[in-house]
Amino acid sequence: SKLLYCPHKSCSSPLQVELSELPSNQPSTCPACGKGFCPRCRIPGWHKGYTCTEFQALPAHLRSAEDAAVLQLSEKQQWKQCPQCKQMVERSVGCNHMLCRCGCNFCYGCG
């Protein structure tokens, strides 16, 4: 067994778990605070739309449940990220030439 801590800042209760008994790609609930979390990725909430392996392969700055939800939505909406500042942008009209608010010029089609 292994000692894990609830990833919610308001709780952080210790939880003793059997790693072999952790549900694969399913959220768990902390018995102390009742909030959901991913026991394998150790994040509050859940990385909906990603398996644990896919989520852990994301760059470190994108590994939160909220970031995973935005990335999932951006794929559906076909939004792109600025190659310089990583801000999400959407082309609504015009050509593929984009000027991000950070000053970066890039092609919406190929990045």
User: What's the pLDDT tens digit per position in 30-74?
Assistant: 999 999 988 888 888 888 888 888 888 888 777 777 777 788 888
Q: Looking at the domain assignment, is residue 82 inside a domain?
A: no
Contact 48, 72 (CB under 8 A): yes
Share of the chain above pLDDT 90, in %: 11
Which positions are annotated as active-site residues? 95
Contact 56, 43 (CB under 8 A): no
Query: Into how many domains does the chain fold?
Result: 1
Report strand pairing: 43-44 vs 36-38: antiparallel
**Across-strand partners of 4?**
15
Q: Looking at the domain assignment, is residue 20 inside a domain?
A: yes
Q: Looking at the domain assignment, is residue 22 inside a domain?
A: yes
Q: What type of residue is 46? A: W
Q: Looking at the domain assignment, is residue 106 inside a domain?
A: no
pLDDT of residue 105: 92
The CA-atom distances, in angstroms, between 43 and each of 34, 78, 85, 97, 105 are 14, 26, 24, 37, 35
Q: Looking at the domain assignment, is residue 46 inside a domain?
A: yes
Which domain range does residue 12 map to?
A: 2-77
Q: Looking at the domain assignment, is residue 103 inside a domain?
A: no
pTM: 0.56
Contact 37, 59 (CB under 8 A): no
